[in-house]
Amino acid sequence: MKYDGSYHELREAAVSVLHRLSEILNINTVYIAENDKEQVKVVHAYNHKYTLVESGYQVSYEDSY
């Protein structure tokens, strides 16, 4: 897939990478999160067999560890 600069294609590529990482590493959950030192927000999550983290989940930075 050639990247044309669109957000939609970039998001599709990111989702594909997460799914593949889950397979390669043999782990259930892989996610991408934004961290601004005040809040941590899960941008996208992939859960293979059971849900641990969902996209959109947000928690304070202090409570994220």
Q: Give the number of domains in the chain.
A: 1
Q: Where are the beta strands (DSSP E) in the chain?
A: 29-35, 39-47, 58-60
In a domain, 2, yes or no: no
**Res 10: pLDDT:** 74
Q: Where is 55: in which H helix or E strand? A: none
In a domain, 1, yes or no: no
**Res 27: pLDDT:** 95
Q: What is the rounded radius of gyration, in angstroms, for the C-alpha atoms of the chain?
A: 13
Whether the full predicted model's pTM is greater than 0.95, yes or no, is no
In a domain, 47, yes or no: yes
- Angle, CA of 31, 32 and 35, to the nearest 5°: 130
In a domain, 37, yes or no: yes
pLDDT for residue 63 is more than 60: yes
Choose between 13 and 6: higher pLDDT. Answer: 13
pLDDT tens for each residue of 15-62 = 888 899 999 999 999 999 999 999 999 988 999 999 999 999 999 999
